[in-house]
Amino acid sequence: MNPRVLKERARHAFLVLLMLVTISCGLETHYFKDRVNEVSQERVARRYGPPHKVESLQNGGETWIYYDRGSATASYAGYAESKYCRAYLLSFDKEGVLRDWNEQICRN
C-alpha cells in the first residue's frame, strides 16, 4: 500500500480515537449531573468501585472522593508522565442518595 495512504489512515484513526476519548470523559460528568437526587451510593460503587477516600458530613451523610489521575502519554522520545489529575467529590445524604457533586483539580 502507498505510504502516503497509510500515513493518512493512521492520522485519521488517531483523530477518531482522540474524539472518542474526549467524548467518553465528558459523559462521566454528565452521569453525576443527570443523577443528582436520584442515584444511590450502591449504584455509584457498582459503576466506579469503592471510593478512594470517604469523609463524614455533619448531616450524617458522606462525601466520596474519586481521583482520575490520567495515564502516561507517548511521545517521540518515549513515555512522559501525565500531570493530569481530577478529583470528583460526591456528596450523599444519610439515606445514601447523591445530593451534590463537584469536579476539581487535585490538590496534591
Query: How does pLDDT run along the chain (108 residues), one tens digit per residue?
Result: 777 766 777 666 655 544 444 444 443 677 888 899 999 999 999 998 999 999 999 999 999 999 888 765 554 555 545 567 889 999 999 999 999 999 998 875
Domain boundaries, the chain: 3-105
- Among 29, 31, 105, which Cα is nearest to 70's? 105
Tell whether domain 3-105 is in CATH 3.30.1450.
yes
E strand or H helix at 85, and its extent?
Answer: none
Question: What confidence score (pLDDT) does residue 91 get?
Answer: 96
- Among 49, 91, 55, 96, which Cα is nearest to 68's? 49
CA dihedral 50, 55, 57, 58 (to 10 degrees): 140
Grid cell at residue 3: 505510504
